[in-house]
Amino acid sequence: MRKRYQIYITGNVQRVGFRNQAFEIANATGISGKAMYIDHAVMIEAEGETDKLPDFISWCRRGPELCTIESFELTEMPLEHSTEFIVVHGIVSSEKLTDIFSLHH
């Protein structure tokens, strides 16, 4: 069975390779979705089989070696049936989130 989660992480999470490492781990484990910097946080959407998601989510709770996580929010979302994991480059303003998500469906 597949599930999809939105993961919102704050702290020292930018400029530490969070998105790129999430991309590598997602591709290695069959997780699809997206990773982006938003304001001063990282937001990741992860969709995959329920037996593969826990390891990916566990890694997101720790993050890359140089990061410091202050808060971690996990929200279950409706499935999108995405087939790839993408990195949205740059820093997205939370005011532009609707635009980003509608462009990458």
Structure tokens at 69: 């996580």
Place of tokens 């390779």: 17
What is the assigned CATH class of domain 2-103? alpha beta
Chain-centroid distance of CA 82 in Å reads 13
pLDDT at site 57: 97
Look at residues 46, 44, 30, 55 and name the one whose alpha carbon lies nearest to residue 88.
44
What is the average per-residue pLDDT within 3-21?
96
Q: Which amino acid is at 52?
A: K
Q: pTM of the prediction?
A: 0.86
- Domain residue spans of the chain: 2-103
Torsion over CA: 103, 17, 82, 77 (sign): negative
What is the average per-residue pLDDT within 23-36?
96
pLDDT band for position 99 (cuts 50, 70, 90): low
Q: Is 1 helix (H, G, I), strand (E, B) or coil?
A: coil
What is the average per-residue pLDDT within 51-79?
96
> Please, are residues 41 and 16 in contact by the beta-carbon 8 Å criterion?
no
